[in-house]
Structure 1
């Protein structure tokens, strides 16, 4: 009996994962199940999808593993839809070649496999790049992921990696995984909205999956489904403004950033001895880490070190660790017409005169996002614009069809905030009150005005 090639092997009994967002996640290919069971993918169970957001929205405890399965499931449903309604056999170059299914499914499942603990903050301190590490995990013969992919064909790991790098020749596959309306974004908006308990990120996924279709240059959407796409753009905008850029979450990120920065500085100080050496972080503190070093890390590893740092002799490291673990966060004030850089200098002076090290107890945090933009060839990094398709096959860019999207197009949204210890607002902790009272009152005025605008800061 002729053996079925590995890439075509289907499970005798379909595997399903119960999911609160998609109901069931269906696994039919042996390759996909084998990838899920690799240690690199299982590691994603130990990394939160939203980093420090659970400090603000306590339900946000979901992992990058659950998100990765969700992106896979949306991609699988789209592939089924394309095969059923838009086959290359019927539409030619505008149709979907189902030979691309497996590379699309693998890229969807593995797109986040290179994320580290507290991903973006960790990357900032230790100069890592999760996308580059994802590619390395996919292509390194040492990883279980690469070994599974290589069973499909010798060049299959590179093919999947090229989807992540956006160099894969089939743009339909690339845009399914990475564009302004892709399986990744669709899953994280719905999933993050569910786990944070907000309604901002909800949109009509069922309708989106009915109106999405391939064409020769990528992915488009039926014009009749414009309002569903429009709703998705607005939902994404609202999630960034109300959840991802929440001032309290950013406060936790600031403290985490400064905590890791202080540990790095102390490690480089030959006169300082840690009570307990952060063994698994040493390769990163010394700027000389391997892929295996990276894969040893997850949120639990960092949290364990933070717990041990509570006991460190260095007062700053110990205090920042306690603040992060016990949710004793910084206060913040947004920059606006009333607060300029000169005022920020005064505020830093106040903080310093209360005995705080301004490098570790103040910060300016910028959080901006572009809700939607059209293709701009003059830019080094441009976006794949969303196209709508009329019944006659002609295309129109989304912002030309939607007044709502046009209002958001090309406009960065967000704010810039100054963070500081909230203790200085309590007069019982104030030093030299007569000397600094005028500045303190000015500071309190800004905080008061800012709090009126948001009850959740």
Structure 2
């Protein structure tokens, strides 16, 4: 029997808090899960610093990746007897679903921003280069690893396959909304996934939804909207991300100025030098990063030491609402006053912005084109969702943005009352209130 068709003697299951059970029968999937590259995802949190806000948010990219695989497995099972579905794409879909987040680094997006990295690039690099994952995929057939990478890169020729992993209603989103809601303890991310899976239908280049399932999709989109603003963009989590970014920036600056670390940051050197190779990337996980943050609390550099103490002990920055378009004069004055008070504004004064577009219709040629969700009407006509749903129409194409100004309130409180900067800083910051 060809490797691609090989089945386990007995179906394996993972007990899962979201999907109850995750089922594995294909030898290829079982072997991929066992690789070092996939097992590494156990050491990458799904939600980065969110556990400093919602203490239950300790779940990993490993959990999520299995969940996305399971949803795609269920979708494919439902598609087996449907027209337009190519059964030969089954294993490709399952592998792409399982491996779609393989390249995430420690603390994910915050880490990427500091070192100008792209997790999707590293996901594809792990798949097509000399790794255990690559070896297994090539056993399926020569060039199969590139097909999996193409699906994840959204360049694969069969757009229906791509849409299962990446679209406005895909397995990735359906898993992380429910999983993140479960582990954070909030109710916003819950929706009727079983109903959505039942009304999904494959057509030539995308998945569509039977019109009878419209209300389940409305619930899904509103769940996503609420999760972004109540969980993913929570200002306390963003405060932790600001401090995390500042730690990494400070360590990089110190390295570039020949500072002598008490513990040489060997795991970071290629990142500091911006010549990261795949092996270096795979060796760095959140356990390693947290270890450095722990020992850097004893560094001689005051800024690095303080920032690490804040992160490790959850002494986060406070924040106020801030509009960079209208309050740049305030920002510039605060920057100058912080310097005069001996507080380095490069590390202790930061504007952080978050924005989200919960649903959009097709806008050809625009950045990040989004294929809309289509409803399959009883007469087999396709109708774009927002044209049929008043709820979705009300939020379509509407990008919401939020800005916060972060600062260390304890530093300001400890300033000498006679310091002329203190009073003015307090006026500028607290005229609209600082929040926990």
Q: Could you say which TM-score interval applies, normalised by the shorter chain?
A: over 0.9
Deviations 1:341-377 (A, max 9, x none): 1122233344334321000001110100111111111
DSSP-derived class of the 1:310 partner: helix
Corresponding position of 2:344:
357
DSSP-derived class of the 2:264 partner: coil
Write out aligned runs for 1:418-437 (5 A).
418-424=405-411, 426=413, 429-433=415-419, 436-437=422-423
* Pick aligned residue for 2:142 from 145, 150, 154: 154
Write out aligned runs for 1:53-452 (5 A).
53-84=50-81, 86=82, 91=83, 95-140=84-129, 142-270=130-258, 272-336=259-323, 340-424=327-411, 426=413, 429-433=415-419, 436-447=422-433, 451=435
Shift of the 380–247 alpha-carbon distance from structure 1 to 2, 3 Å rule, reads: closer
Shift of 1:431: 4.2
DSSP-derived class of the 2:433 partner: helix
> Which is further off, 329-338 or 240-249?
329-338
* Pick aligned residue for 1:18 from 15, 20, 23: 15
DSSP-derived class of the 2:431 partner: helix
Q: Residues of 2 paired with 1:217 and 1:12: CA distance?
A: 35
Shift of 1:205: 0.6
Q: Residues of 2 paired with 1:380 and 1:287: CA distance?
A: 27
Q: Residues of 1 paired with 2:313 and 2:233: CA distance?
A: 21
Shift of 1:170: 1.2
TM-score, normalised to structure 2's length?
0.97
DSSP-derived class of the 1:15 partner: strand
Shift of 1:414: 3.1
Q: Residues of 2 paired with 1:55 and 1:250: CA distance?
A: 10
TM-score, normalised to structure 1's length?
0.93
Tell whether 2:33 aligns with 1:36.
yes
Shift of 1:127: 1.5
Q: Residues of 1 paired with 2:80 and 2:277: CA distance?
A: 41
DSSP-derived class of the 2:267 partner: helix
Tell whether 2:39 aligns with 1:50.
no
Shift of 1:285: 1.1
Corresponding position of 1:454:
none
Unmatched runs of 5 consecutive residues or more in structure 1: 452-456
Deviations 1:85-122 (A, max 9, x none): x1xxxx3xxx2111111000000000000000011111
Shift of 1:338: 11
CA contact (8 A) 1:114 1:133 kept: yes
CA contact (8 A) 1:245 1:414 kept: no
DSSP-derived class of the 1:114 partner: coil
Q: Residues of 1 paired with 2:132 and 2:284: CA distance?
A: 17
> Which is further off, 252-261 or 439-448?
439-448
Shift of 1:280: 1.1
Shift of 1:406: 1.1
CA contact (8 A) 1:192 1:201 kept: yes
Q: Residues of 2 paired with 1:157 and 1:389: CA distance?
A: 34
DSSP-derived class of the 2:432 partner: helix
CA contact (8 A) 1:354 1:430 kept: no
Unmatched runs of 5 consecutive residues or more in structure 2: none
**Equivalenced residues, count:** 436
CA contact (8 A) 1:44 1:63 kept: yes
Shift of the 348–447 alpha-carbon distance from structure 1 to 2, 3 Å rule, reads: farther
CA contact (8 A) 2:92 2:147 kept: yes
Shift of the 210–434 alpha-carbon distance from structure 1 to 2, 3 Å rule, reads: same
Deviations 1:314-344 (A, max 9, x none): 1001110111111010011112599611122
